[in-house]
Amino acid sequence: MAHGFAATKDCGLDSFARGFAAIGLDVLAFDYRGFGASAGEPRQIISPSGQVQDYRAALRAAAELPGVDPNRLVLWGVSMSGGTVLEVAAGRSDIAAVISLTPLVNSLASDRPAPRPSSDVAARGAAGRRPSTTARLLLRAVRDKYAQTSGRDRLMAPAVGRPDEVALLNLPGTYEDYASIAGPTWRNEVNASIALDALTHRPHRFAADLRCPALFQIADYDRCVPVRAAIRAGVRARAQIRHYPCDHFDVYPGKRWHESIRDHQARFLTKALGAGAVSS
């Protein structure tokens, strides 16, 4: 299990992990390099390709643990890592199942459906980033790219902020939503250049190469990732697709839809792995 954009494993993953342990599965949750409890310098640098490498390394480590069948591995990802698991699993025969929760599969897609006017999502607002804020973020991203290539100190930016703040995520209510799941190792900063790197982040390309059962769990009023792109990726993956009338952060512990989402994951894995592979 790995978390999403800029998050650490202590940001709400324990409840999902306990759900899997309750049906007899072993769980290895990890932080990407430079984040949370993991080593690595410099800190807080998001690298999509590096995170794919880290996930593969975590799989190798999991396969060597006592009692683990190295040919029956399950990948779990949420948000950005919900796309990462597609690339990691593509073409592999040792992956038994994939769970992709509120996945980010194409950063370029601009097809997010508008929230229902009567929903709690609408109450938080769906306005986009102001052009001036976008310009300031992109300028910082370009300067960070130059720092990266010239060996200078990296330029950081808040991962999440309030509206009109220069941050990677700054929709109304997003700061409060993120803070509600933040664990003690989480830090609100990342490399500014991820704003540019995200433009080429398209893990939906690997969806058709999955060789195992997959579960896509879609928040239909998700303001943080393109919903229709995620649905299309699920179709390409021949996945079971479940929909929830909620926003991106409404899937975590303490939120209305968390228990249903966790229960659906357990049911999916019980079927995908076979009734004799997990305990009920």
pLDDT digits (tens, 9 = 90+) for 197-215: 999 999 999 999 999 999 9
Residues 6+ apart with CB under 8 A from 199: 107, 108
Dihedral over alpha carbons 52, 54, 55, 56 (to 10 degrees): 90
Q: How far apart are CA 170 and CA 226, in angstroms?
A: 16
pLDDT over threshold 50, residue 94: yes
Q: How far apart are CA 206 and CA 89, in angstroms?
A: 8
Cα 6–Cα 228–Cα 30 angle in degrees, nearest 5 = 25
Instruction: For 244-265, write each residue's pLDDT tens digit.
Output: 999 999 999 999 999 999 999 9
Give 275's pLDDT tier (boundaries 50, 70, 90): low
For the question of whether the overall pTM of this predicted structure is more than 0.85, the answer is: yes
Q: How far apart are CA 85 and CA 277, in angstroms?
A: 22
* CATH number assigned to the domain with residue range 13-107+119-273, chosen from the 4 options 3.40.50.880, 3.40.50.1000, 3.10.20.30, 3.40.50.1820: 3.40.50.1820
Q: Is 244 helix (H, G, I), strand (E, B) or coil?
A: strand
Query: Residue 98: enclosing H or E segment and its boundaries?
Result: strand 95-101
Residue 85 to residues 19, 79, 80, 190, 263, Cα–Cα distance (Å): 20, 10, 9, 21, 20
End-to-end alpha carbon distance in the chain: 21
Q: Domain limits of the chain?
A: 13-107+119-273
Q: How far apart are CA 177 and CA 173, in angstroms?
A: 6
CA-wise closest residue to 86 among 46, 113, 52, 122 = 52
Mean pLDDT of the region 35-42:
96
The number of beta carbons lying within 10 Å of the beta carbon of residue 135 is: 12
